[in-house]
Structure 1
């Protein structure tokens, strides 16, 4: 790490180092988004809730000489993530009444105000963890159910072009957010860094894309996954903050990723093979099934329609 220490010691190379960090973040985000796209709306939502942008940001912040700032930022990410879960709840309830862009603006504005309130509450790391997980669990409980055949005013007639959001565009935006946080972190307090590092950039992209192109059920499906992914992100930040000082950046990141992976496996096992299967049967009941096929085959979108 001598080369890295020398780069940090040279003020003239700070901008170049930020560019390198941003490029690495962009590649990581693009890879995760591409993987998530292969597994459908709910899996994409879960991955959107995971610390895809938060983890690189915290890791880069932790490369400073003193890890205290990264630890405080991780704790604030936990609080802000619980607040941003309200984004999913609001969007899921509003998407049957409002257009996608209006839903996005209202849900983001309200969740940002809640995040500003949450990060200002003084609490220990354990108290923050328990409160954040409780909020996510409550929001998951109050998420509306999928509805068969419901489409919003923003789901177009055939003349309206479908919304296309390429993976590279989302990854570039995520990388720019991460790079901006890293560059300006010396001038921002930890609670602002926590709020910015957990903004639902990918979750909002998935929600508005699914809402515009596929309708309410698919948008809600992704938002439910996003709330579940937020719970995983909260645990990731807690493990990272608890182990960073005593075990160093490498082991703290490894422990946090391992915990995150176990939780994702548990979510996948329960969600995709139990609850999601039942919901799909209810959604597609009576829609007609090809001979020798299944309800999922009869209503599955083409590969082009699953693109973000």
Structure 2
């Protein structure tokens, strides 16, 4: 039953983000990709299947794990620029970008597992990475929104992939220490399938637009996981999750209002 719930939630999130990308463009989709969707599901079920205290300890390292997610998308973007210089395109470009991104995530996660379990370290490293990525990506050109080229069959398949990743993460948490479980929970299970959908359907320009706005949305994930380190042990899973979503929503609303409507 839990597997079916994870499956349905993951597919629903990927479908929703894909619809946003087609309806409003990669800019807004990139911002919303930082909303605590896949991470929230992973940490909730880790808490449900193991304990709220273990999930709270994992959430501490999930904050550091967002640096891994930034390493993934940055390496993906770097591979796109590399392929442009070398004249690669199509599946060659996608394959190289996937290889570069996943390798960057794995390497960064291996390094960050040795961080001390304190907030200033786990939160600080991600805040630094968010700031650096936001600064370096600020001048990237914006691709115009395009629509109508991705079939819903493909999107559902990507949703199944996201569900498989969530199931794998929550299963692995039973055998891993809280540090590695938390770093795995930071994997962008909803963003990554969407990233591949856009890359294969629309090309590198739209993909880079999505990546450009991803660091801005990560603030919501940091706030969400930071709140869980306190609320899960004291308030329980349901109210802790609810409080985290309220705080994350307030952040995204405030950021969007300040950044795009100022």
TM-score (normalised: structure 1) = 0.71
Q: Which has the higher helix share?
A: 2
Higher mean alpha-carbon deviation, 184-193 vs 38-47, is at: 184-193
The answer as to whether partners of 1:41 and 1:221 remain within 8 angstroms in 2 is yes
The answer as to whether partners of 2:65 and 2:112 remain within 8 angstroms in 1 is yes
Residues of 2 paired with 1:32 and 1:228: CA distance? 19
The answer as to whether partners of 1:88 and 1:227 remain within 8 angstroms in 2 is no
- Shift of the 41–80 alpha-carbon distance from structure 1 to 2, 3 Å rule, reads same
- Shift of the 219–247 alpha-carbon distance from structure 1 to 2, 3 Å rule, reads same
The answer as to whether partners of 1:86 and 1:139 remain within 8 angstroms in 2 is no
- Shift of the 180–147 alpha-carbon distance from structure 1 to 2, 3 Å rule, reads closer
- Shift of the 130–271 alpha-carbon distance from structure 1 to 2, 3 Å rule, reads same
Q: Map 1:23-172 onto structure 2 (within 5 A).
A: 23-30=7-14, 32-37=16-21, 38-64=23-49, 66-98=51-83, 99-143=93-137, 145-147=139-141, 166-172=154-160
- Shift of the 247–226 alpha-carbon distance from structure 1 to 2, 3 Å rule, reads same
* Secondary structure in 2 matching 1:63: helix
The answer as to whether partners of 2:15 and 2:156 remain within 8 angstroms in 1 is no
The answer as to whether partners of 2:20 and 2:28 remain within 8 angstroms in 1 is yes
- Shift of the 26–93 alpha-carbon distance from structure 1 to 2, 3 Å rule, reads closer
* Secondary structure in 2 matching 1:196: helix
Residues of 1 paired with 2:165 and 2:117: CA distance? 27
Mapped pair 1:222 → 2:210 = yes
Specify which of 260, 269, 286 is matched with residue 248 of structure 2.
Answer: 260
- Give the alignment's Cα RMSD to 1 decimal: 2.6
Report deviation, 1:126.
4.1
Mapped pair 1:236 → 2:224 = yes
Q: Any unmatched runs of 5+ in structure 1?
A: 1-16, 150-161, 275-308
Q: How many pairs are equivalent? A: 246
Higher mean alpha-carbon deviation, 235-244 vs 32-41, is at: 32-41
* Secondary structure in 2 matching 1:97: helix
Report deviation, 1:130.
2.8
- Shift of the 94–19 alpha-carbon distance from structure 1 to 2, 3 Å rule, reads closer
TM-score (normalised: structure 2) = 0.82
The answer as to whether partners of 1:75 and 1:237 remain within 8 angstroms in 2 is yes
Q: Any unmatched runs of 5+ in structure 2?
A: 84-92, 144-148
The answer as to whether partners of 1:32 and 1:47 remain within 8 angstroms in 2 is no
Report deviation, 1:132.
1.6
Report deviation, 1:204.
3.0
Report deviation, 1:253.
0.9
Higher relative CO (Cα under 8 Å, sequence separation at least 6) belongs to 2
The answer as to whether partners of 1:75 and 1:128 remain within 8 angstroms in 2 is yes
Deviations 1:54-79 (A, max 9, x none): 10111122225742210121112111
- Shift of the 104–218 alpha-carbon distance from structure 1 to 2, 3 Å rule, reads same
Other-structure match for 1:21: 5
Q: Map 1:178-217 onto structure 2 (within 5 A).
A: 178-217=166-205
Report deviation, 1:271.
4.0
